C-alpha cells in the first residue's frame, strides 16, 4: 500500500472520530434545545456541527452525506438567524438528519464507502422545509415530484418539550453521561 492510500485512510479515520464526537455533542445540544428552543447560541452550535461535517464531506468526496448536511445546514441557518421558529416538525427533520448521518458514517467506517442509501427523500424534505416561508408553515406545502408530502413541512406546534424523539434522545444522553461518570470514577 502506498503512502497516499495510507494518508487517505488516516484522514477518513480522523473524520469519523471527529464526526462521532460532534454528533455526541449535537445530541446534548438537542436535549438542551428542548429546554431553550429560542437559544441562538445553542442553534449556532448545532449549525456549526452540521457545517463542519458538511465541509469535511466535500473535501473527502462523500457526496451523499454532503447533500444531507447541506440541506440541513440551510434550515439550521434560518433557525439560528431567527428567520423561523423551531417546532416539533423541524426538530423531527433535524433528528432524522442526525440518524441518516450516523448511518452513512457507519457505512464509511465499515468499508470506506457511503453505502447504497441516498436519503433523497430526506434531502428533498429538508429542501422543501427550508424553502417554505415561515408564515406558511402551518399549511401543507404543495406536492413536488419525487418529494413526499411530509408532515415536517406542515407544522402544528405542540411544544418541543412534548416531542417523543427528543424524550428518547434525552434518556440516551443521560445514559451516556452515567457511563462516562462510571468510567471516570472507575
What CATH number has the domain bearing residue 56?
1.20.120.160
Q: How many domains does the chain have?
A: 1
pTM over the 0.75 mark:
no
137: containing domain? 3-185
Over range 62-87, report the average pLDDT.
92
Q: Residue 134: what pLDDT?
A: 59
| Contact status, residue 78 vs residue 84, Cβ threshold 8 Å | yes
Instruction: Dump pLDDT digits (tens) for 41-51.
Output: 999 999 999 99
Evaluate if residue 87 carries a pLDDT over 60: yes
Q: How far apart are CA 142 and CA 25, in angstroms?
A: 35
Provide the pLDDT confidence category of residue 76 given band limits of 50, 70 and 90. very high
Amino acid at each position: 500500500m502506498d503512502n497516499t492510500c495510507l494518508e487517505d485512510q488516516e484522514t477518513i479515520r480522523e473524520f469519523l472520530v471527529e464526526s462521532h464526537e460532534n454528533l455526541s455533542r449535537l445530541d446534548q445540544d438537542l436535549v438542551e434545545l428542548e429546554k431553550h428552543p429560542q437559544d441562538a447560541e445553542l442553534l449556532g452550535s448545532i449549525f456549526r456541527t452540521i457545517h463542519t461535517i458538511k465541509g469535511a464531506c466535500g473535501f473527502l468526496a462523500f457526496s451523499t452525506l454532503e447533500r444531507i448536511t447541506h440541506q440541513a445546514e440551510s434550515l439550521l441557518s434560518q433557525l439560528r438567524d431567527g428567520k423561523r421558529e423551531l417546532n416539533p416538525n423541524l426538530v423531527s427533520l433535524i433528528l432524522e438528519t442526525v440518524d441518516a448521518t450516523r448511518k452513512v458514517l457507519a457505512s464509511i467506517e465499515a468499508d470506506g464507502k457511503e453505502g447504497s442509501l441516498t436519503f433523497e427523500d430526506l434531502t428533498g424534505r429538508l429542501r422543501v422545509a427550508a424553502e417554505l416561508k415561515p408564515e406558511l408553515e402551518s399549511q401543507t406545502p404543495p406536492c413536488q415530484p419525487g418529494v413526499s408530502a411530509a408532515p415536517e413541512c406542515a407544522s402544528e406546534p405542540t411544544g418541543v418539550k412534548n416531542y417523543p424523539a427528543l424524550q428518547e434522545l434525552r434518556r440516551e444522553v443521560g445514559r451516556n453521561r452515567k457511563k462516562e461518570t462510571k468510567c471516570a470514577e472507575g
